[in-house]
Amino acid sequence: MRLTIDAMAMKYPIGIQSFETIISGGYVYVDKTGFIHNLISSGKYFFLSRPRRFGKSLLLSTIKAYYEGREDLFRGLAISNYAHDWKAHPVLHIALNAFEYVSSGSLLDKFGFDFDRWEKLYGIEKDDAPHSERFRRIIEHAYALTGRKVVILIDEYDKPLLDTAGNRELQDTYRSQLKSIYGNLKTCDEYIEFAMLTGVSRFGKLSIFSDLNNLKDISMRPDYSAICGITLEEIRTYFPEGVTELARNKRMSVNETYAKLASYYDGYHFSGESPDIYNPFSLLNALDAKDFGSYWFSTGTPTFLVEMIRRMEIDLRDLEHIDEDIHDLMDASFDLSSTIPLMYQSGYLTIKSADSRFDTVALGYPNVEVERGFLNGLMKAYTTNDNGRSEFEVNKFVRDVESGRVEDFMVRLRALFSGYHYDQIDLGSLELHYRNVIYLVMKLMGFYTEAEMQTASGRIDLVLKTSDYLYLFEFKLNRTAEDAMEQINSRDYLLPFQADGRTVIKVGANFDDGIRSISDWIIEYSGPKRVK
């Protein structure tokens, strides 16, 4: 449904999670009601996992409006093409996302707030019964008083668990509380018309779902891949004027603008057959601001995931391409074995391809916004000191290499390592730490320069290309800078670049565990030496 065609007057529903507000307020609504018709026609209990700010709350708000009989809000939408009785049901909508879970009583306080309201609404006398019992009575009384079965919608069911990722004791308390309350979705089946839980992750290993085997998980169903998020077809249907206005503001062609939008915000796949899905929060912000930015990442950082990756002591280059059993992606806990499933469920990795023969998928970063933001988060974790300040500033590194100031680059790189407090990692992991930081420097600079690894005549540690210079870096551990330079020269690392035309700068450097930083380096030039 198109509510406006004037790009300057177009109202983007940024941060608005109420379906009624969007429709009544004249905001653009991307019609997902066809998916809702399929849901209510095909089952009773559902679970959906999607990354944060992907439209889960709006989806539940839309379902709520449907079951409240608000036919007036759905005129002209896909669901209006089907026959429905539009009779109102009692709806119990629990939104756990707008609450902080900091103590053992926080979760029950949140449930208690909702239960107090419903007990008053349905004339239930409040007593000291456990919260699980109170919820059961509310469901039964709502059905008895209205004569209609109850609809239960739980938004961000897992937020208490995500908030306490680093607090095992509090997390265990919340898990027990959630399990007892959510168990009513099965024991009260005769009074329930429809129920849906949404969240970021499916914590099957935490036993939350052990008593909810009646839930149909649609998270990786191809027919529901686009139930949240925005497809290219939907952009062309609902936002062509917005894209044109963005193109005009950035002095780009419309085709160039579509390509950059895809590069920055597209690339999510929630099944092996999923269409490309754009991050709706970032896309709408870009169209509204008429500018490209890291909107999704600016609303929160995946601190618990970054810390898990650092503690795992993995080679960050392995995140470039990951093969995973597709069934493992939707079963996670907070132990280190679940890092990849949690990265997928949280939206930092997505499905790039699938092999149906072996039920495996290849994972990778979905787009520029996610990759850059996540690597920045990792860089802070790998280089930040106790004051919470990182010595790493990628723009200064880029300016150094673009101007041929390689000595300044190396001094800055040495400061980056010297500023890290190494009591946070095992001495046996220092080499991996050095390698991971160099990798992060390379990848982050690669957003502004051309960075790559070469393997034709040996593995060059780092290659950087600018318009005037081509850099070859080789790093050694507890050796000498001479050893590093000798490897560059003896293995003909220059051979692929003989006809390049740019000034080639070779840098051999050595890491010393004694000082836990770069001890020395050698710089050699091939071609004219140009420093700007």
434 vs 278 pLDDT, higher one: 278
Under the banding of pLDDT at 50, 70 and 90, the label for residue 4 is very low
- Judged by DSSP in three states, 355 sits in strand
Token couple for 223? 């027919």
**Tokens representing residue 356 in the block:** 């149906």
Among residues 238, 288, 280, which one has the least CA distance to residue 9? 288
Task: Dump pLDDT digits (tens) for 358-414.
Answer: 889 999 999 999 999 899 888 888 876 544 455 457 889 999 999 999 999 999 999
pLDDT number for residue 438: 87
Give, in degrees to the nearest 5, the angle at Cα 365 between 360 and 371: 160
Say how many C-beta atoms besides its own lie within 10 A of residue 114's C-beta. Answer: 18
pLDDT at residue 2, as a whole number: 43
- For residue 222, give the nearest of 258, 270, 153 by alpha carbon: 270
Average pLDDT over residues 447-461: 67
Query: What are the respective helix, strand and coil percentages of the chain, to the nearest 5?
Result: 45, 15, 40
Q: Show the DSSP H helices in 25-167 as ranges.
A: 33-42, 56-67, 106-121, 131-146, 159-163
What is the pLDDT, as a whole number, of residue 452? Answer: 65
**For residues 410 and 397, is the Cβ–Cβ distance under 8 A?**
no
Q: Are 502 and 510 in contact (CB under 8 A)?
A: no
Q: Is pLDDT above 70 for 428?
A: no
pLDDT-derived band of residue 333, with 50, 70 and 90 as boundaries?
low
Cβ atoms of 254 and 247 closer than 8 Å = yes
Q: According to the model, what pLDDT value does residue 496 have?
A: 80
Band (3; pLDDT cuts 50, 70, 90): very low
Q: Taking residues 51-72, report their average pLDDT.
A: 97
Q: What is the pLDDT of residue 162?
A: 84
Contacts of 465 (CB under 8 A, 6+ apart): 449, 450, 451, 452, 471, 502
Average pLDDT over residues 330-343: 73
Which pLDDT score, from 0 to 100, does residue 317 have? 81
The predicted structure's pLDDT at residue 120: 96
pLDDT digits (tens, 9 = 90+) for 6-57: 556 789 999 999 999 999 999 999 999 999 999 999 999 999 999 999 999 9
